[in-house]
Structure 1
């Protein structure tokens, strides 16, 4: 629903599907009409959109601000090592497009430490890390929802949860193997019902659940983004056992701050930005280390006072540093600074 005081929305067509090479048809005409003080682009600075927008901003005395999710270095050596000649060619494109846009970009927001370092190292002077804020009115501690869902699903012990895509890089098989080592403890695992993930990894996970004899310990859920908060409130421990690959590592991990905001203790692999999110308010284990993950889960189940302490730590950290409010405060400060320069 569009309110009367909302900014005007322009529905446009695009040319090419690749975000790095995509062109927004008629963009310059819209910018000429509106003449904004700041143009904010949620795309990589090494993109044709960034080149076009930053050039327009320079010509029209506007400020160009970019937000990037990048967390893999695009120097030629690293890129070739990750993906061979294809990686080298992609690195060439990224570097060339950054060369064209860099001199006209006023500020870059990143969502992880690696991205901040990458852009500073290639010559960007104004770089600021920012959270991908969660809606604190939606993701929060709701005791009545916890009671309702736990009663509905007949949850009477420690609830361990995974929220997110059912794909290999999220390490669900690692989590299942860790849980299989803890069958002597009282716990329940909640997991998406796989309806949207009928792929080969879905088959792998389904077979693994049977092989490890975990069917009786799992409650399957089906929920959209707004409903997932109820299941997060019903949970005690959220785990993200992500596995980095040569071409990917966690850029952010949005479900972790959301779960923290719902007073979950969190355990994450040391993939990409995940350790940055939890800080000292959660547990970090070595990627693929099943025994270490199992030990962390075991510690929280056996020591409910520790689990409760970390729930509170996670909640406070999420609300203070990772919410939309935190994101807005950074935007507001930086936008005012660059407009007044």
Structure 2
């Protein structure tokens, strides 16, 4: 079987590894289309060599609107490309309302019309303006399968009208790359201390709950601890002022930007990770990928009740949950973990076990294999819906 996968996130070799695992497990042919380079949220242009096993499988393609997850499109004549490639299944590692998804879906409807599927991490039911709403509906009608990253995302897809097969498929990670043994070789810049280390990895922006975190840290300044923050953002200057006001600025180390492939050593050097995100009118925390990454590296987690954070923590039993925007509640949990090494170890063990069982690359690859196999075996599923989708996309092309 031949699987075509299109993925902007796979401009990073780490994100290709699950597809290499699928190919290795099945013997299928994988073709992976990625941006020639991708501009991430920190302004870095990502262009890496393919991961081991996919050296001859990756096709690099220039894109318009580089860096915009929703608006970018591939500079590719997709109908011709699909007709020549002749894949058996197409999987878009893109949201159903993204222009790139509609671009490839439309080309598939007008050419080879093989089973088509998409990814989603949208856990809030949002209504998009035209033409995005039209394109999203076309993708729903045309798709045989979807891989939502959580149960809540699956519920949103169903509520928005998607009626195809769904397989909840978490964002995967390699538990050998993210491992507690990395604690023995901390990054050179990591502060040397015998105090418990609180960690934060992410953008330094206010919706991430940094104002609440500063107030919570001030409430535990009587305890012995240090903190390391990995990331950059517009809120850093004000955050530092808040920390100074709380009397804890001298305990905080700002590491700045750290490449994704270097974060495992930083996470393994932390005793606990905090993720105090706060739900906004049009945003709440989605998968919170740093949570399983930290757990895999042996860190306990303290997270707010925003979005998917509490669900991940409850599933894993690898952390503690507090009410968002409540610094007193966050401080209580910080005090428990700072003063409780036994509790930290137990939570870390629980989290590591969950990662290996449910969201490791082997576990996620197996779900993908089952989904792609089912899609290929049932190419007539939803035939009427696909015929209607073809008519709709044809009408769109003529308009």
The answer to whether residue 269 in structure 2 is matched with residue 218 in structure 1 is no
For 1:118, the equivalent position in structure 2 comes to: 156
1:326 aligns with one of 344, 351, 363: 363
For 1:179, the equivalent position in structure 2 comes to: 217
CA distance in structure 1 between the aligned counterparts of 2:336 and 2:65, rounded to whole angstroms: 50
Matched ranges for 1:141-180 at <5 A: 141-142=180-181, 145-146=183-184, 148=186, 153-180=191-218
Give the CA deviation at 1:207: 0.9
Gaps of 5+ in 2: 1-48, 379-399
CA distance in structure 2 between the aligned counterparts of 1:42 and 1:112, rounded to whole angstroms: 15
CA distance in structure 1 between the aligned counterparts of 2:97 and 2:363, rounded to whole angstroms: 27
2:332 aligns with one of 273, 276, 295: 295
CA distance in structure 1 between the aligned counterparts of 2:54 and 2:153, rounded to whole angstroms: 35
CA distance in structure 1 between the aligned counterparts of 2:298 and 2:74, rounded to whole angstroms: 41
Q: Secondary structure in 2 aligned to 1:70?
A: coil
CA distance in structure 2 between the aligned counterparts of 1:103 and 1:236, rounded to whole angstroms: 47
2:313 aligns with one of 267, 271, 278: 278
Q: Deviations over 1:145-166 (max 9, x none)?
A: 3465699622112111111111
Q: What's the TM-score once normalised by structure 1's chain length?
A: 0.86
Contact 1:74 1:91 in 2 (8 A): no
For 2:24, the equivalent position in structure 1 comes to: none
Contact 1:57 1:104 in 2 (8 A): no
Q: What's the TM-score once normalised by structure 2's chain length?
A: 0.74
2:89 aligns with one of 38, 55, 59: 38
- 1:270–1:52: structure 2 CA closer, same or farther, 3 Å change rule? same
CA distance in structure 2 between the aligned counterparts of 1:189 and 1:160, rounded to whole angstroms: 5
Give the CA deviation at 1:107: 0.7
Give the CA deviation at 1:131: 1.1
Give the CA deviation at 1:226: 2.5
1:257 aligns with one of 282, 292, 315: 292
For 2:114, the equivalent position in structure 1 comes to: 62
Q: Report the count of equivalent residues.
A: 322
Give the CA deviation at 1:104: 1.3
Give the CA deviation at 1:227: 2.5
Q: Deviations over 1:171-213 (max 9, x none)?
A: 1221121111011111111123x6x43x3x1211121121111
Q: Deviations over 1:99-154 (max 9, x none)?
A: 222221111111233321111121323122211112222111116x3465699622
Instruction: Give the RMSD, CA atoms, in angstroms.
Output: 2.4
CA distance in structure 2 between the aligned counterparts of 1:220 and 1:15, rounded to whole angstroms: 34
Q: Secondary structure in 2 aligned to 1:177?
A: helix
